């Protein structure tokens, strides 16, 4: 284990960050990577518990005590090997994962968990600084198509290639990465890390084809003619809308459209003025309190918004755990993101009832009309007499997603959906269509990046088992 008395001698310490007043002037990451001595000190706090809960909290099952011990001992190459054994992209999860592993850490009983996420990110940086060697295995002769290049698709593709299959990843956008590329702002995750991992995957036998809208550019049946199996990692890209009066006014937009445009600008693309969504000089209202809403806050501030207000339908969470939310469950407590720290008014229990235009531009949003709400019977109900208005030149809808797009390949192949509108699968990821599998948000619903990676790994294993059985049946029938 790490230092047996480390958790007694060393206090929890997060890496330093550039001041909010400075970081909002750029689009780059703002976390200052710790020195190796600081990293080792934080790793020494791991108690190597007899029954560790950290890797149970992690959907990937990362063996946290093991890599903490290796970091403390200065054996970073071994820590890289241990971490990559369960996590294909720790450079991603070390930046954008909410760290359920830390929530489950025994030290979190006292709210001072090991800084697992930061240690993971630094191990991944060590891998990038050194040789990110490809893992090349003998070819199986089988071909697999992966539709979608988000975290589930990339994880599935890498695992399938390492199982020896020839893998082609099809991506509708002009660059690989899905929501990693166009949904997460660069100030949280710079996109060069995706490109670096793609280089490794190409060396492992993965081919990427961008600008291919499967179901339109190429049909699902055509893929089934070319490949032995197809894995759908389509994501849950249908945003939840807000059907209230004034929804069709100019200046009311979906959060992902706003974020994707800015990521494209950072990448050097030009967004035509006719469809540009910009916050500069505007009073911005973000509707939705999750990660996507927080990303809209940070992006709006960097674009020069006059003000940013974030509204949440649910009540403000408690500052500490409630008795019905004990450790090691995920703590349902009030949090402040780095973007919210940069300058954002937050309000809770607010239900938007309408958008309204101004006298000089009636077709463009000028204010948001809302009412206070209270929970009753499991849903939010308006409180009579609590109406309010908020100046609003740009409203960003960040209320989550309802599921995968029902058209395209899902409709073409007649895939069975579950009660929530997601693609129904068995434990191996098999759908109702022969030789078609699904992973990630498309089958489990909107979730975390870490769950998407775990799902991609799980379904890749299911595909490889199915291909092995199919190979056995072919040999038996000779």
Write the CB contacts of 414 (distance below 8 Å, at least 6 apart in sequence).
432, 433
What does the pLDDT read at residue 187?
98
What does the pLDDT read at residue 128?
83
What does the pLDDT read at residue 475?
62
Angle (CA) 58-60-64 rounded to 5° is 60
Q: Which fold has domain 241-399?
A: FAD/NAD(P)-binding domain (3.50.50)
Q: Check pLDDT > 80 for residue 462.
A: yes
Average pLDDT in the 407-432 region?
Answer: 95
Indicate the Cα dihedral angle 436, 442, 444, 449, nearest 10°: 120
Average pLDDT in the 234-241 region?
Answer: 95
Alpha carbons 188 and 391: distance in angstroms, whole number = 28
What does the pLDDT read at residue 56?
83
Of 22-36, 120-134, 278-292, 445-459, least confident by mean pLDDT is 120-134
What does the pLDDT read at residue 69?
95
Q: Check pLDDT > 90 for residue 254.
A: yes
3-class secondary-structure state, position 381: strand
How far is Cα of residue 7 from the mean position of the Cα atoms in its chain?
31
Q: Considering only the top CATH level, what class is 143-237+405-477?
A: alpha beta
Per residue in 341-396, pLDDT (tens digit) is 999 999 999 999 999 999 999 999 999 999 999 998 888 999 999 999 999 999 99
Q: Check pLDDT > 80 for residue 77.
A: yes
Alpha carbons 115 and 101: distance in angstroms, whole number = 10
Using a pLDDT cut of 70, give the percent of the chain over it.
98
Contact between residue 149 and residue 177 where contact means Cβ atoms under 8 Å apart: yes
DSSP E strands, 172-324? 206-210, 229-232, 238-239, 252-254, 283-287, 307-312
> Residue 437 — pLDDT band, cuts 50, 70, 90?
very high
Alpha carbons 182 and 299: distance in angstroms, whole number = 13
Q: Check pLDDT > 60 for residue 240.
A: yes
Crossing angle (nearest 10°) for helices 116-129 and 64-72:
60
Q: Considering only the top CATH level, what class is 6-129?
A: mainly alpha
Average pLDDT in the 194-214 region?
Answer: 96
Alpha carbons 305 and 282: distance in angstroms, whole number = 5
What does the pLDDT read at residue 478?
54
Average pLDDT in the 240-262 region?
Answer: 98
Place of tokens 């630094």: 122
> Residue 406 — pLDDT band, cuts 50, 70, 90?
confident
143-237+405-477 and 241-399, same CATH topology: yes
Q: Check pLDDT > 70 for residue 410.
A: yes
3-class secondary-structure state, position 164: coil
Q: Within a 10 A sphere around the Cβ of 389, how many other Cβ atoms?
A: 12
Write the CB contacts of 42 (distance below 8 Å, at least 6 apart in sequence).
10, 12, 13, 34, 114, 115, 118, 119
What does the pLDDT read at residue 129?
79
Give the global pTM.
0.95
Q: Check pLDDT > 80 for residue 473.
A: no
Each domain of the chain, given as residue ranges in start order, spans: 6-129, 143-237+405-477, 241-399
Closest residue by Cα to residue 186 from 268, 107, 66:
268
Burial class (CB in 10 A: 0-12, 13-18, 19+), 212: middle
Mean pLDDT of the chain: 95
Per residue in 98-152, pLDDT (tens digit) is 999 999 999 999 999 999 999 999 999 988 877 678 999 999 999 999 999 999 9
What does the pLDDT read at residue 471?
76
What does the pLDDT read at residue 474?
58
Alpha carbons 177 and 235: distance in angstroms, whole number = 12
């Amino acid at each position: 284990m790490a230092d047996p008395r480390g958790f007694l001698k060393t206090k929890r310490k997060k890496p330093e960050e550039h001041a909010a007043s400075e970081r909002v002037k750029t689009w780059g990451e703002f976390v200052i990577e710790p020195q190796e001595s600081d990293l080792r000190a934080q790793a020494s706090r791991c108690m190597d518990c007899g029954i560790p809960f950290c890797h149970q909290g992690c959907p990937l099952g990362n063996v946290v005590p093991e890599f903490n011990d290796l970091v403390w001992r200065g054996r970073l190459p071994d820590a890289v090997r241990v971490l990559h054994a369960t996590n294909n992209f720790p450079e991603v999860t070390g930046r954008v994962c909410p760290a359920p592993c830390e929530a489950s850490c025994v030290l979190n009983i006292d709210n001072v968990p090991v800084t697992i996420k930061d240690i993971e990110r630094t191990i991944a940086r060590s891998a990038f600084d050194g040789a990110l060697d490809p893992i090349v295995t003998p070819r199986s002769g089988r071909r697999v198509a992966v539709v979608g290049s988000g975290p589930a698709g990339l994880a599935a593709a890498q695992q399938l290639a390492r199982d020896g299959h020839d893998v082609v990843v099809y991506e509708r956008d002009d660059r690989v990465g899905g929501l990693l590329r166009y949904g997460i702002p660069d100030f949280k995750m710079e996109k060069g890390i995706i490109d670096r991992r793609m280089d490794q995957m190409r060396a492992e036998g993965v081919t990427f084809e961008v600008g291919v809208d499967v179901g339109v550019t190429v049909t699902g049946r055509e893929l089934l003619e070319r490949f032995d199996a197809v894995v759908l990692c389509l994501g849950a890209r249908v945003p939840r809308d807000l059907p209230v009066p004034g929804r069709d006014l100019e200046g009311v937009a979906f959060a992902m459209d706003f974020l994707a445009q800015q990521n494209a600008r950072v990448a050097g693309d030009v967004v035509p003025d006719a469809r540009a969504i910009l916050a500069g000089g505007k009073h911005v209202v973000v509707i939705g309190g999750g990660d996507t809403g927080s990303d809209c806050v940070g992006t709006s501030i960097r674009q020069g918004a006059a003000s940013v207000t974030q509204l949440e339908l649910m009540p403000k969470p408690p500052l500490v755990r409630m008795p019905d939310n004990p450790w090691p469950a995920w703590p349902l407590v009030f949090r402040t993101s780095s973007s919210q720290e940069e300058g954002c008014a937050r309000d809770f229990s607010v239900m938007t009832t309408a958008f309204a235009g101004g006298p000089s531009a009636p077709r463009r949003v000028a204010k948001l009309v809302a009412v206070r709400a209270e929970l009753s019977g499991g849903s939010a109900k308006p409180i009579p007499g609590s109406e309010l208005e908020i100046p609003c030149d740009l409203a960003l809808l960040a209320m989550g997603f309802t599921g995968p797009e029902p058209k395209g390949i899902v409709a073409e192949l007649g895939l069975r959906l579950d009660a929530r509108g997601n693609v129904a699968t068995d434990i191996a990821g098999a759908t109702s269509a022969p030789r078609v599998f699904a992973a990630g948000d498309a089958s489990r619903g909107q979730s975390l990046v870490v769950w998407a990676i775990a799902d991609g790994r799980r379904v890749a294993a299911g595909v490889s088992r199915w291909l092995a059985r199919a190979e056995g049946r072919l040999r038996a029938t000779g």
